[in-house]
Structure 1
Amino acid sequence: MQLSHFDTHFERANFPVSVICDHIYFQQNIGSLFRICEAFGVNEIIFTGKDIPLNPRKINKTSRSTHLKVPYKIFEDSIELKHYLQENNFQIIALEITQNSQSLSSVKIPKNQKIALLLGSEINGISEILLQIAHQILHINMYGENSSMNVVQAASICLYEITNRIQNLK
């Protein structure tokens, strides 16, 4: 018999992970990112860009009210965000397909360090200014003809791997 949401007793955890949304504007993706970040115990979401559409009415449908539970910040300027990440000693992991990206399975999670997971916009990916400061650039191996997937699907796969690795460090 399937359990209801009230009958499940998953262990609650909060991980030192901040999800960085670099110019992500599609409201369904934003709502779904709140939902998946809450499910994986992400510390916060950081948006970069101007006029991020955080209209609670539209986001609530896909977030299922998790936008009220996951703290978030907005940096309008990528340079300001770059300084914030560097000054706060984040291990910066970019999820992007590049000439030198490595498979997600090779991710290295340092013990007792904050992680910033960089996710790129639905159209242009991660901006060059943020990609340049990444300590690791990772991609998800795909075996079909398509070379990309939705940002929320990719974030889900990556957060599963990262949170499992953090749990194994304990």
Structure 2
Amino acid sequence: MQLTHDNTNFENRQFPVILLLDNITSEANIGSIFRLADAFGVEKLIFHGTPPNLNSNRLKRTARNTHTTVDFQVYEDATQVINDLKSSGYKMTAVEITSESKPISDFHLEAKKILLVAGNERHGISEEILKSCDNAYHIEMFGKNSSMNVAQSLGIALYEITKVLRS
């Protein structure tokens, strides 16, 4: 028998993970990210760059009301917030393929608090934000393409990270 929201026994839990969304603009992706943030107990979302259109029907349908329950902040320029979070112990971790990135399956905890960064659908994480990151992890892919939808990649990354945080 398939269970409903009312009869699952999932533990309601929040992890010390904040998502920094660097100029993510797709309403469907933003809705999916709100939903992922709820599912994985993310502390909050920080939108950097273009503000999300929270009145979008596409975003609302995809988010399934999580845009009203997940904490978020919007900044045209999140530089000060990033500096404040890093000063308070957050390790800034990119989900991006770089010359130094490691596979997300090898994720290990370097700090108890994580500022997880995801980038724009076409251009990835901006060079300015990427330079602020303490480390980077990528998702190993086995086809010919070297990129993945931002919401899907965050889902995989959050699964691996919360797996480590739970242990």
> Mean alpha-carbon deviation: is it higher for 128-137 or for 11-20?
128-137
1:166 equivalent in structure 2:
165
Match of 1:46 in 2: 46
Distance of 1:121 and 1:78 partners within structure 2:
15
Query: Contact 2:27–2:56 (CA<8 Å) still a contact in 1?
Result: no
Q: In structure 2, how many angstroms separate the alpha carbons of the residues matched to 1:88 and 1:74?
A: 20
Distance in 1, Cα, partners of 2:115 & 2:72: 13
Alpha-carbon distance between aligned partners in 2 of 1:36 and 1:15, rounded to the nearest angstrom: 13
Mapped contact 2:24–2:30 kept (Cα < 8 A): yes
1:87 maps to a residue whose letter is: S
**Counterpart for residue 70 of structure 1:** 70
| Unpaired stretches in structure 2, ≥5 consecutive residues | none
CA distance in 2, matches of 1:121, 1:84: 23
Identity among equivalent positions (%) equals 41
TM-score by length of structure 2 reads 0.93
| Secondary structure of 2:145 counterpart | coil
Report what 1:91 is aligned to.
91
Gaps of 5+ in 1: none
Task: Provide the C-alpha distance between the structure 1 equivalents of 2:142 and 2:127, rounded to a whole number of angstroms.
Answer: 27
Contact 1:48 1:81 in 2 (8 A): no
- Aligned residues of 1:37 and 1:70 also touching (Cα < 8 A): yes
CA deviations on 1:119-150 (whole Å, 9 max, x unpaired) are: 00001100111111211111000111111111
Question: Which structure 1 residue ranges, 4+ long, deviate > 3 Å from structure 2?
Answer: none
Q: Deviations over 1:86-107 (max 9, x none)?
A: 3332111100011111111222
Which position in structure 1 is the counterpart of 2:104? 104
Q: What root-mean-square deviation, in Å, do the aligned CA atoms of Structure 1 and Structure 2 show?
A: 1.5
How many aligned residue pairs are there? 167
TM-score, normalised relative to structure 1:
0.92
Matched residue, 2:34:
34
Distance across 2 between alignment mates of 1:5 and 1:51: 31
Provide closer, same or farther for how the CA distance between residues 88 and 55 of structure 1 changes in structure 2, counting only shifts above 3 A: farther
Cα separation, partners in 2 of 1:9 and 1:56, compared to 1, 3 Å: farther
Contact 1:31 1:63 in 2 (8 A): yes
